[in-house]
Structure 1
Amino acid sequence: MAGAPRAGQVTLSIPEAGIKATLQTDAKGRALIDIPAGKLETWSPEQPKLYTVELAGGGDTVADRIGFRTIETRGQDILLNGKPVFLRGISLHDENPLIPGRLRGQGDMRMLLQWAKELNCNYVRLAHYPHSEEMVRLADEMGLMVWAEVPVYWTISWTNPATLANATAQLSDMIVRDKNRASVVVWSVGNETPISAPRNAFMGSLVRTARALDDTRLVAAALEIHRSGKRMTIEDPLADQIDLASFNEYAGWYWASNAEMLDFRFDIKLDKPVVVTEFGADALGGFHADADTRWSEEYQDRLYQNQFRMLAGIPGLRGMTPWVLADFRSPRRQHPYYQDFWNRKGLISDDGKKKQAFWTLKKHYDGIERRYRP
């Protein structure tokens, strides 16, 4: 089965569902099978059902644990298995804050995803690069939808053919690797890429590649918000090519104060679901002060509350992934006291303690879950 695509005969089996069929593949090694909907229980965060699927042919047999679900948009709604869903998410890095560095095994991965579940998330943004295959398989098992991303961000060499080839290869490899993971609902082609003609062509090429490889999932990117006075809009031409009005914004931290941010208004003209891919503020775990004191847990907590009030003015808001689940190491964060080479925007500190905003986000998601409950 790892050889060149060719026509042949294969047998597909899903023993638990009583399904077994012999299929004839085409010259590309592909075959289609229609399975009555009632034969399979759909995968969802509430019921992350996985089936053992076996494929036999040419003397070889492979098996995988696979979930079955649909994901699509209709106007400003995201539909999971045909029903509206709100993406109650959080962004996370492939890092363990307790032992700084990349995740060392399934225990580390499960810890991060369990923290997301404690927040009442049904969705995670795996930023800003493909995380391990085991992480995505755990998301399948634990019932967390996934935004999967390639490391195309900021100001790279948009006109260099080798750079485009590299990005295309990474995107293609990620899609081929994770195409059978029910948890993955969004392929992201990049993060915070400044608008220019060469960039637009580069990103458009990645969108087309993603759609050619997989037309069953949403394609998106984390865009940047445009500010004009107190008005916030999406002015990025890439927004017309992707499935979500998805963007990062840092009102209350990198611009405007906690109080001033409530004067800003979103004016999103796109008839598609709005997903806020980043917002947040740094807070040093254990540092307490009043809600106007930057770097305090109280400031971060108030910012989250004000973000919820501000974002409530977006009619098409259908998801968010605040930045970020846990503090992580960063050489760019050089404040000697508050940062000490850590990005402190985590809802969980580097010693594993939950900051005040963790519970504020959980309460917010509890309310959203009730509104979307069937």
Structure 2
Amino acid sequence: MRITTYTLLLLLIFTAGIKAQGNLITNIKNRKTLSLNGSWHYIVDPYETGFYDYRYKELKEDNGDAYWNTGIPANKTAKKEHGYNDKYTIEVPGDWNHQKPEFLFYEGTIWYQKTFDYKKQPNGNKYYVYFGAINYRADVYLNGKKLGMHKGGFTPFNFEVPAALLKDTGNFLVVKVDNKRYADEVPTLNTDWWNYGGITRDVALVEVPTTFIRDFMIQLKKPHNGVMPSKEPEVEGWIKLDHQPLAAQTVTVSIPELKLTKQFTTTDSLIPLNFKLPAQVKLWSPLAPKLYRVIVSTSTDKTEDEIGFRTIEAFGKKLLLNGKPLFMSGICIHGEIPQDVRRAYSQQDAAQLLGQARQLGCNMVRLAHYPHDEKMTRLADSLGILVWSEIPVYWTIDFGNAEVLNKAKSQLGEMITRDHNRASVIIWSVGNETPISTTRTNFMHNLIIKAKQLDSTRLVSAALEVNYGALKNQNMVDDPLGEFVDLVAFNEYLGWYGGLPDKCRTTNWGTPYNKPMFISETGAEGKSGFHADSLTRFSEEFQEWYFKEQIDMLKRMPDNFVGLSPWVLADFRSPKRNNPLYQEGWNRKGFYDDKGNKKKAFYILQKYYKQKSAETAK
């Protein structure tokens, strides 16, 4: 009965069409912007003195002691106990932990401040301040007025700037950044990665016309019953306008290389799209990552993007890309640059991480355990690397809390909105290793429903729980959430968290769900340069043995096994890892160490992926 109800629910979702999310402006790189990156002033405020009075009540907006106001005294008798000057500066984008030694373990509030000029034109245009990501809570002020507050450490957001508030010179922008962990946030208190704080991604002032194209989505419809149309694949999607005033608008979609132009006239702010591409369109794939320039324009605005066209679906036990079976040779990646001990944010950082994945032989990456910088997904588009993108619903979220569910939905919506035109992204993940209960399953099911409402063209999954020893020598992935996901993914560490790697020799895997199955994590720690026999924990030889046994086990996987993404590309910082000889605050499961050196296990996995690639090519 549950399956029938769910099937009916999906029918309602798909017939309702794809929906747009929130007020996020997308495709910022092709807008008129002023970069606000660079040096910002800062004040460290662990007691939040600049936000609360001594009775712990939020200061009024015009209170001169509030840190969103200038610290310059009006005269020599005025009392000021804060100020911004060049003695205290910090770089944006970037986490604060690696920029100052005293900030290494700091969790709390730091106020960021930047002054900028912007010459407005007398054209009635609209202005927004856009942030690629801030970890975790951001309160944003301009010229002493609060623009808004946002929570979520890895997704973009923007606030409108009233034109009357914006000055030609000397604009005073202040952001209160707070990365303290709380039980009712997403993620929650306990994670296995470093809690990098700060304005970690790009900041820009965006100028748009009064009526502008806020967002659009153009993707191929899923095939029917696993069969791709032989000619003219069908596009579905929408265009979201900001209409002022509400009047008839003609919107044009063009793809110059395909000599395609479509026009739509409407008074609605959300315009549904449905049209066919010419038969000569080249589909995007890892072997041929073709991107087309897509232009969306109105009489007042124009935006464009580089978009690849492909389909992805779970059909029975197979995973089909453009109607053909797909094996995902993957790797998990943290958004971190180990050799600099910092959060990744730049184009160079994305090139390093995805370049290392390609050296390993990967055609897929799992971006764990949060949405990574947009430069990662855009570069993956160009390189032809498939992407699993995930929100940080991690381990033990407060699943019974409706407010926490809304926070998770908000982050899910922002992740999907930013990247819904990225051909590389084939899987939206709603969480990782969440403990089974009815409350948790309802929570996660709600997120899956939300994801499918926002995007019916991709798969939705999560890293599920495993029933170890369900049968003799048989582990079952029978997590109840498996009923609702498109891809049955699970994490397993046989031989690291339980027994030794030779345990793989007698272990088999199964699932009651007639769906593709994917190993979303597996791994063992190996300290680079520490050599011993294969039985010695933390040695490179132990890690090497682990993956030899894992790969032998993979040869016995059931016929619905469609790939894996071992843990993890490179060693990364974690306060949970405190072995004084081998870890020292690092998770050592990387195939690369913290200096970029390859460990012995690298070559084991690389060889396996080369074999899989050769089999696929036949």
| Conserved? CA contact 1:50–1:66, under 8 Å | yes
Instruction: Report which of the two structures shows the higher radius of gyration computed on alpha carbons.
Output: 2
Deviates more, 1:229-238 or 1:94-103: 229-238
Deviates more, 1:57-66 or 1:276-285: 57-66
Q: What letter is aligned with 1:202? A: F
Identity among equivalent positions (%) equals: 46
Match of 1:107 among 339, 345, 348: 348
Structure 2 residue 597 is the aligned partner of structure 1 residue 361: no
Give the whole-Å Cα distance in 2 for the aligned partners of 1:270 and 1:291: 36
Q: What letter is aligned with 2:415? A: M
Match of 2:581 among 337, 340, 362: 337
Q: What letter is aligned with 2:329? A: R
Note the 1:1-374 alignment, pairs <5 A: 1-2=213-214, 3-4=241-242, 8-25=249-266, 27-228=268-469, 230-315=473-558, 316-373=560-617
Question: How far has the Cα of 1:305 moved from its partner?
Answer: 1.2
Q: TM-score, normalised by structure 2?
A: 0.59
| Conserved? CA contact 1:245–1:273, under 8 Å | yes
SS of 1:98's partner is helix
Q: What letter is aligned with 2:379? A: L
SS of 2:336's partner is coil
Give the whole-Å Cα distance in 2 for the aligned partners of 1:289 and 1:225: 32
| Conserved? CA contact 2:436–2:465, under 8 Å | no
Give the whole-Å Cα distance in 2 for the aligned partners of 1:91 and 1:73: 21
Question: How far has the Cα of 1:134 moved from its partner?
Answer: 1.2
SS of 1:49's partner is coil
What residue in structure 1 maps to residue 99 of structure 2?
A: none
Q: Which runs of 5 or more structure 2 residues have no equivalent in the other structure?
A: 1-212, 215-240
| Conserved? CA contact 1:305–1:360, under 8 Å | yes
- Per residue, is there more strand in 1 or in 2? 2
Question: How far has the Cα of 1:268 moved from its partner?
Answer: 2.2
1:304–1:26: structure 2 CA closer, same or farther, 3 Å change rule?
farther
Task: Write out per-residue CA displacement over residues 237-295 of structure 1, whole angstroms, 9 at most, x where no aligned residue.
Answer: 10010011100011010012122232222132321111100000000001111111111
| Conserved? CA contact 1:282–1:344, under 8 Å | yes
Question: How far has the Cα of 1:363 moved from its partner?
Answer: 0.6
Q: Which runs of 5 or more structure 1 residues have no equivalent in the other structure?
A: none
| Conserved? CA contact 1:224–1:249, under 8 Å | no
Q: Give the alignment's Cα RMSD to 1 decimal.
A: 1.4
Q: What letter is aligned with 2:552? A: R
SS of 1:32's partner is strand
1:26–1:191: structure 2 CA closer, same or farther, 3 Å change rule?
farther
| Conserved? CA contact 1:8–1:29, under 8 Å | no
Give the whole-Å Cα distance in 2 for the aligned partners of 1:96 and 1:237: 36
Deviates more, 1:221-230 or 1:46-55: 221-230
| Conserved? CA contact 2:478–2:512, under 8 Å | no
Q: Indicate the structure whose relative CO is greater, using CA pairs within 8 Å and at least 6 residues apart.
A: 1
Aligned length: 374
SS of 1:39's partner is coil
Question: How far has the Cα of 1:17 moved from its partner?
Answer: 1.5
SS of 2:412's partner is helix
SS of 1:250's partner is coil
| Conserved? CA contact 1:268–1:314, under 8 Å | no
- Per residue, is there more helix in 1 or in 2? 1
Give the whole-Å Cα distance in 2 for the aligned partners of 1:280 and 1:200: 26
Question: How far has the Cα of 1:40 moved from its partner?
Answer: 1.4
